[in-house]
Amino acid sequence: MHSIKQLSLDPDKTLIFNMTNSPRFQMRLSTRIFLSILGVTLLVWILRGVGLLTFLPGAVIWILIFLSFVAGILNTLIRR
């Protein structure tokens, strides 16, 4: 059974629950940064491959891939 904490009451007196305080949903800032950079990299790569972002030079993709690797390594080092 999962415990859900009460956050506040709105004007209609209905309960609003905060699911982000659950340990299941908590992520470190470094993990969020890594996943954000990785997501942007994948999105740009897919959109460029489909032909929607063909004006972007290939160097942009390489820079995003490099940033993803660096963020992943830093996330791993910070976690230890």
Query: What whole-number distance in Å separates Cα of residue 28 and Cα of residue 35?
Result: 11
pLDDT digits (tens, 9 = 90+) for 1-58: 445 555 555 555 555 555 555 555 567 888 899 999 999 999 999 999 999 988 989 9
pTM over 0.85: no
Separation in Å, CA 7 to CA 3, 27, 38: 13, 19, 31
Contacts 24+ apart (CB under 8 A), 52-60: none
